[in-house]
Structure 1
Amino acid sequence: MPLKPARTLRTSPYRPVLTHATLRRLLPGFAVSSLGDGMAVVGVSWLAIELAPAAERGLWVALAAAAYTLSGAVGAVLLGRFLRHRSPSRLVACDALLRATVLGAIPVCHALGTLGIELYVVLLALSSVLHSWGQAGVYTLLAGLLPERDHVAGNAVLSGIGSLSTVLGPPLAGALILRGGAVTVIAVDAATFLVLAATFLFGAPHEEAAPAPRGPAPGESGSRTAGFAVIRRTPALLGLLGLSSVFFCLFGPVYVALPLHVSEGLGGPAGLLAAFYTAFGIGAVLGSVLAGYLSRLPMWPATTGIVVAFGLFLLPTGLGAPTAVAVAGFAAAGLLWPPYAALSTALFQRSAPRHLLPQTLAASSAVRVLSVPLGTALGGPLVAGLGARETLLVSAVSIAVLGVAAAGAARAAQRGRS
């Protein structure tokens, strides 16, 4: 007999998250900002195309994309001394205010006729300096508001909002570009960060998210690398960060190989490439719903199993399977992305000392944010040497092998402890 909707809601792992008084105030602002980020995926690159000289567009598009993400890793390392005492909600608000201000300067400069491609890339880099700290603030606040049993569900809700934005954001950006150019997308993105800043400044009770009072351990006070020290001293976190970094790096070549495989290997239009990404995004939305039900799974077997399955689902594309099968494989891989993010973040939330959780999450974000660009950079030589389809195959097999090796190493370490 099917469950009644009311009973399903009562037993859902997401009920404590969606009915929490504070989170109900914060999640709408987070959703608005995530939608802006989904639009920026298209807007940032397209404005670089509009501004750059025709002969150098490829270089400047790559620089713009890198500037919008990589400076957050630098900020995570260099700004720890100044930000480590900020409450999690203040970290989110500071990141959002910086992004709103600097991104908002881009359409202003464009209107004044002073926006060149060099200034554009500089402004993108400045806007993201605090992004690792903003992300750390969100997940630290979540860990403080919810009991440990609800951390995975809370992480999954945030991941689901982000996944949905990757489905809805690009089409909205395309419509805005047709009406007002790519700079309009950047202006809207800046406005969404103002909404996020206001939400966390006025909607989050700062004392509720404050870390438990506790003096720092010897050597931790004032250290800009305290988060890295926590990871280094905690084998589970060090192993998980290593697994995540290599996993994301091995996925990076897909961003280079897939467009070339679609356009040259399959002779398909841009719409086919969009179908791959849309399928991945739809799978990720469904995976976000699934993730909340996985909180009772043992962390390491679940995360390593996800990595193995992710690689296997990418195999059809690398093996030259029929297009429908390859797109379905991407959808299945997308289904696994949010559970991996939710489970791995929950392990950090449970393992790091509470008073050092923001620094630890920022350090983790700094390392992981470097992984995909590094893999993407490696994708160019791989495609040149092996071919696009072969690069996709190497990426898929390597990811699956990584998951198997990580699972074996975890079992060996467990036997050694026993």
Structure 2
Amino acid sequence: MTATRMIRASPYWPVLTHPTLRRLLPGFTVSSLGDGMAVVAVSWLAIELAPASDHGMWVALAAAAYTVPGAVGGLVLARLLRRRSPAQLVGWDALLRATALGAIPLCHALGTLTIELYVALLAASSVLHSWGQAGIYTILARLLRERDLLAGNAVLSSVGSLSNVIGPPLAAALIAWGGAATVIAVDAVTFLVLGITFLSGVRQDSAPDPEQQDSRTAGLAVIRRTPVLLGLLSLSFVFFFLFGPVYVALPLYVSDDLDQPAVVLAAFYTAFGGGAVIGSLMTGYLSRLPMWPTAIGIVVSFGAFLLPVGLGAPVAAAIGGFAVVGLLWPPYAALSTTLFQRSAPRESLPQALAASSAVRTLSVPLGTALGGPLVTVLGAQATLSLSAASITVLGLGAACTARASRNRRARPSRGRVRRP
């Protein structure tokens, strides 16, 4: 088979050649690269602005401000945003981020940027982010055939994974040249590009019927009424929550328990990022597998490959396991999003996705917050072991629950067949 035929046979071909998505993907890619750069810049600027004695607290607040308000907005702004088209949700989120983030380098240049104002502007920038994400994935669900949804989600995941590999070193170079505020300015421009791309590149289709979406918690109501969605969101929340302590325990494990330099910690994160890129590219080929069992299997495997880190395996083996963990992350994200897109009612999809994004956004910070006390009581290595073992048990429990549910649904059918 020639290279051209192989590309055309790829599950990604219908996504990359879709006339509307071809206009949207460049803007999404630029914005994702900006986010990859912000991972470094947000914390670094907080270090520059905060008093030396309070660096840890302000760095944590800055990181939380860049994500957590989006979860709150996803839950409380449904009444305001329920009549907006998906393209408007993406555009408004992007323009708010561009405005609030753009104010940061402006205030910095004027000498008026304090650490308190910095955190407040970061928080303001993220208020609509759950709705922006919901708009992106709703547009994808409306543009693509159902069989192409997994590949479409995998393309977005691949862009995000590549940005997380390319963005940090690019941010480091820009920080050395012009300071962290310069990187924030670039991030603001990338969101401006995203907003213009979606507002001009997508037909302003009709919004959901307001009579059907009259509650601030309409998205959560849809999820509660749909067992598949409720089970999936519960699994995702606990999964991400249990992974949260790793962000606290891993750096301390490397520096204190292993007595290794920062380059070893960087090797863990580089391995995770490299695995995530490969996992993203593989995801589109999983469409023939049953999605729910595959998602549960990923959770079990994720915990199993994380376990060597907590069991004190040699550094090379632990990094290898962490690379596999990174490889498994994008397929789970894409599979769970695809299940949501397929299972939620079409007219309620933006609300359901926004509620899901809000709940999942809260899970990792909550788990990370738990990581501090756990490390204090148990130590870094034991915390890593507990996190890995708990994720594995979660996956096994989900598998048992899913099997029991299938058996309950099958019993009445068998009973009716036996009747004369």
Q: Same fold (TM over 0.5)?
A: yes
Trace 1:146-225 onto structure 2 (pairs within 5 A): 146-207=144-205, 210=206, 215=209, 220-225=212-217
Per-residue deviation, 1:216: 6.1
Is the counterpart of residue 72 in structure 1 residue 70 in structure 2? yes
Q: How far, CA to CA, are the matches of 1:310 and 1:54 in structure 2?
A: 37
Cα deviations across residues 83-134 of structure 1 (Å, max 9, x unaligned)? 1111111110100000000000000111111100000000000000000000
Does the alignment pair 1:374 with 2:331?
A: no
2:336 is aligned with 1:344:
yes
Residue aligning to 2:12: 14
Pick from 127, 130, 136 the counterpart of residue 129 of structure 1: 127
The reply to whether residue 398 of structure 1 matches residue 398 of structure 2 is no
Q: What is the CA–CA distance in structure 1 between the aligned matches of 2:4 and 2:53, rounded to whole Å?
A: 60
1:230 to 222, 244, 254: 222
Q: 2:280 aligns with which of 281, 284, 288?
A: 288
Q: Aligned to 2:268, which of 276, 295, 298?
A: 276
Q: 2:46 aligns with which of 39, 43, 48?
A: 48
Residue 148 of structure 1 contacts residue 350 of structure 1 at CA under 8 Å; is this kept in 2? yes
Q: Give, in whole Å, the separation in 2 of the partners of 1:150 and 1:354.
A: 17
Q: How far, CA to CA, are the matches of 1:182 and 1:266 in structure 2?
A: 31
How many angstroms apart in 1 are the aligned matches of 2:213 and 2:227?
A: 22
Partner amino acid, structure 1, of 2:60 = A
Q: Which residue of 2 aligns with 1:411?
A: 403
Question: 1:351 is matched by which residue type in structure 2?
Answer: S
Contact 1:52 1:60 in 2 (8 A): yes
- Conserved 8 A contact 2:82-2:210: no
**2:415 counterpart residue number:** none
User: Identity, % of aligned pairs?
Assistant: 72
Deviations 1:266-293 (A, max 9, x none): 1111111111111101111110111001
**Whole-Å Cα distance in 2 between the matches of residues 189 and 200 of structure 1?**
17
CA contact (8 A) 1:320 1:389 kept: yes
**Partners of 1:401 and 1:9 in 2: how far apart?**
39
**Matched residue, 1:267:** 259
Aligned with 1:98 (options 96, 103, 114): 96
Aligned partner of 2:100: which letter?
A: V
Cα distance in 2 for partners of 1:192, 1:281 equals 22
Tell me which amino acid in the other structure corresponds to 2:197.
T
Letter of the structure 1 residue corresponding to residue 126 of structure 2: S
Matched residue type, 1:96: A
The answer to whether the Cα contact below 8 Å between 1:279 and 1:327 also exists between their aligned partners in 2 is yes
- Structure 1 residues 327-374: Cα deviation after superposition (integer angstroms, max 9, x where no partner): 111111111111101110011101111111000000000100000001
Q: Is the 8 A contact 2:29 2:159 kept in 1?
A: yes
Alignment of 1:316 with 2:308, yes or no, is yes
How far 1:243 moved relative to its partner? Answer: 0.3
Match of 2:414 in 1: none
Structure 1 pair 174/215, CA: closer, same or farther in 2 (3 Å)?
closer
Q: Give the 3 Å change call, closer, same or farther, for CA 21–267 of structure 1 in structure 2.
A: same
Q: Secondary structure at the match of 1:115?
A: coil
Question: What is the SS of the residue equivalent to 1:206?
Answer: coil
Deviation string, structure 1 residues 22-60 (Cα, Å, up to 9, x no partner): 001100100000000000000000000000000011000
Contact 1:77 1:363 in 2 (8 A): yes
In 1, Cα distance between equivalents of 2:257 and 2:166: 28
CA distance in 2, matches of 1:413, 1:257: 36
Deviation at 1:4, TM superposition (A): 2.2
Question: 2:416 maps to what in 1?
Answer: none
The residue identity in structure 1 corresponding to 2:29 is A
Deviation at 1:386, TM superposition (A): 0.9
Normalised TM-score (structure 2): 0.96
Q: Which amino acid aligns with 1:140?
A: T
TM superposition shift of 1:7 = 1.9
What amino acid is aligned across from residue 232 of structure 2 in structure 1? L
1:227-263 C-alpha deviation (Å, 9 max, x unpaired): 0000000011000000000000000000000000111
Give 1:68 shift: 0.6
CA contact 1:9–1:15 (8 Å) conserved in 2: yes
Partner of 1:36: 34
Q: Distance in 2 between matches of 1:126 and 1:77?
A: 16
Matched residues in 1 for 2:303 and 2:33: separation? 28
2:118 to 117, 120, 128: 120
CA contact (8 A) 1:300 1:407 kept: no
TM-score by length of 1: 0.97
Which whole-Å CA distance do the structure 2 matches of 1:344 and 1:221 have between them? 23
Structure 1 Cα separation of the partners of residues 259 and 202 of structure 2: 51
Q: Is the contact between residue 301 and residue 392 of structure 2 (CA under 8 Å) also seen in structure 1?
A: yes
State the Cα RMSD in Å: 1.0
**TM superposition shift of 1:82:** 1.3
Aligned partners of 2:101 and 2:121 also within 8 Å:
yes
How far has the Cα of 1:77 moved from its partner? 1.5
The structural deviation recorded for 1:215 is: 4.6
